[in-house]
Amino acid sequence: PCRSVLTVACEQTEVLLFDPISSKHIKTLSEAHEDCVNNIRFLDNRLFATCSDDTTIALWDLRKLNTKVCTLHGHTSWVKNIEYDTNTRLLVTSGFDGNVIIWDTNRCTEDGCPHKKFFHTRFLMRMRLTPDCSKMLISTSSGYLLILHDLDLNKSLEVGSYPILRARRTTSSSDITSSGSSGPRAVGSPCHQNDSGPLSEKHMSRSSQREGGSPRNSLEVLTPEVPGERDRGNCITSLQLHPKGWATLLRCSSNTDDQEWTCVYEFQEGAPVRPVSPRCSLRLTHCIEEANVGRGYIKELCFSPDGRMISSPHGFGIRLLGFDAHCSELVDCLPKEASPLKEIRSLYSHKDVVLTTKFSPTHCQIASGCLSGRVSLYQPKF
């Protein structure tokens, strides 16, 4: 968070640490895990967590990198995502076992942390918390996006214990009323329910309503609109949140893997259209087609710290994208219909497909990493 260290998760068992100012290599954690390292998340300026295909999460302290603080066991498949609630100091992880697990870092020992399964869904790809931790978003390989509203991480969610809002497709028009159809999907709903009928009335009626708001952890199931994918479906491979919580950023690929899109969806807050079914929470505002190079690999994109730009892997480089040509705030240039993202600058320095990119949280600097292992640092001039 203070920009003193750049950490890199590698396809094998390694984690690399660099000084982003001098570009010097600081240290290699050669056996950080027993399989591919997928994600790294700093909890504060010294403590960070890594997750791996070996099904574990590890906690590390920058002051003592020779040994792990502890190893966390609880997932049964590849762990792909780490989030952290700074208010409760709860670590949140998700994996390809479909589980979202909560870890109490307040009570860590060398043997691990107390943990519990918070949520489960099929086809889980990525999970994110909004900056204020009021919502959890979960993307799936079947094209669904799940939103848990009014989030309470202290309450585990089992089938039937939370209200489910009927699946609906997002829209790019000004008409954002709810729809009873989720659009074409061959794989079915991601939620573990046996009946396919509308569930909103049943669950909402037996869920306690808090005064002046919706029930805690109410679940909304969306099928985000992606240009050109109305009839073929898509897989949501990458999921990011606007730093001010205004929007979500998705990287989607078609089921046939012949198209990729980067899409921005504005959060729509407001009164429900019907008492039992809030209007669709997301509206497509901007999108752009991607190069679709390196099929089968997930490309992780990101917002800039101020939310005015997007850095997106594009073939052997990255593109800096804006909501308009002047890098305006999203709220100052919201279109009535979905509009193309504007390409501000393209940066190409790799000899292989770029898979990830990240802005510095404090300086005008961007990092990118490609499939062959090269890490590049940029200081763009505009």
295-305 burial, b if ≥16 CB within 10 A, otherwise e?
eeebbbbbbbe
**Quick count: other Cβ atoms within 10 Å of Cβ 12?**
12
pLDDT over 50 at 64, yes or no: yes
Q: State whether 130 and 244 are in the same domain.
A: no
Question: 351 and 322 in contact (C-beta within 8 Å)?
Answer: no
Domain encompassing residue 304: 223-381
User: For residue 175, what are the contacts with CB-CB under 8 A and spacing of at least 6?
Assistant: none
What is residue 189's predicted lDDT score, i.e. its pLDDT?
A: 47
Of 86-100, 179-193, 287-301, the one with minimum mean pLDDT is 179-193
Q: Is residue 190 part of a domain?
A: no
Is pLDDT above 70 for 209? no
Q: How confident is the model at residue 247 (pLDDT cuts 50, 70, 90)?
A: very high
pLDDT above 70 covers a percentage of the chain that reads 80
- Give the chain's largest Cα–Cα span: 59
235 backbone φψ class: left, alpha, beta (φ>0; ψ -120 to 50): beta
Residues 238 and 122 in one domain: no
Domain shared by 130 and 235, yes or no: no
Same domain, 114 and 247: no
Q: What band does 112 get if pLDDT is binned at 50, 70 and 90?
A: confident
For residue 339, being part of any structural domain is answered with yes
Distance CA 3, CA 20 (A): 7
pLDDT(370) > 80: yes
Would you place residue 110 in the very low, low, confident or very high pLDDT band (cuts 50, 70, 90)?
A: confident
Global pTM value: 0.84
**pLDDT at res. 225:** 83
Tell which of 80, 111, 141 closes a domain: 141
Q: Is 198 within a domain?
A: no
Among 173-182, 218-227, 230-239, the minimum mean pLDDT is found in 173-182
| Confidence check: pLDDT of 198 > 60 | no
pLDDT > 90: percent of the chain: 63
Pair 367, 228 in one domain:
yes
Q: What's the CATH code of the domain at 283?
A: 2.130.10.10
Res 232: pLDDT: 53
Number of separate domains in the chain = 2
Q: Which of 141, 166, 186 is the last residue of a domain?
A: 141
**pLDDT value, residue 162:** 52
CA-closest candidate to residue 228, choices 256, 248, 197, 202: 256
Give the pLDDT of residue 109. Answer: 80
262 with 363, same domain: the answer is yes
pLDDT digits 0-9 by tens, 253-282? 887 777 899 999 999 875 444 445 556 789
Q: Is 194 a member of any domain?
A: no
- Residue 6 predicted with pLDDT over 90: yes
Q: How far from 232 is each of 192, 255, 292, 340, CA to CA, in Å?
A: 23, 7, 16, 21
Mean pLDDT of 214-219: 80
Neighbours of 181 (CB within 10 A): 10
Q: Does any domain span residue 324?
A: yes
Locate all alpha helices (DSSP H) within the chain, ordered by sequence: 200-205
Summarize the confidence of residues 114-137 as an average pLDDT.
94
Query: Of all residues in the chain, what percent are helix, strand and coil, respectively (each to 5)?
Result: 5, 45, 55
Sign of CA pseudo-dihedral 286, 292, 293, 296: positive
Is the CB of residue 284 less than 8 Å from the CB of residue 172?
A: yes
Judge if 253 and 369 occupy the same domain.
Answer: yes
Q: Domain check: are 115 and 240 in the same one?
A: no
Task: Quickly state the pLDDT bin for 203 (edges 50, 70, 90).
Answer: very low
Both 229 and 132 in a single domain? no
Please indicate, yes or no, if residue 162 is contained in any of the structural domains.
Answer: no
Rounded CA-CA distance 43/17 in Å is 16
**234 and 368, same structural domain?**
yes
Cα atoms found within 13 Å of the Cα of residue 59, Cβ hemisphere only:
25
Task: Using DSSP, state whether 330 is helix, strand or coil.
Answer: helix
The answer to whether residues 248 and 114 belong to one domain is: no
Spatial separation of the C-alpha atoms in residues 71 and 94, rounded to whole Å: 16
| φ/ψ of residue 267, rounded to 5 | -75, 125
Asked if the model's pLDDT at residue 19 lies above 90, the reply is yes
- The 10s digit of each residue's pLDDT in 290-343 is 998 988 889 999 999 999 999 999 999 999 999 999 999 999 999 999 999 999
- The per-residue pLDDT for 363 is 87
Cβ neighbourhood burial of 34 (10 Å; 0-12, 13-18, 19+)? exposed
46 touches 55 (CB < 8 A): no
If you average pLDDT over every residue of the chain, what do you get? Answer: 83
Q: Which domain-ending residue is among 113, 141, 169?
A: 141
Same domain for 100 and 248: no
**Is the pLDDT reported for residue 144 higher than 70?**
yes
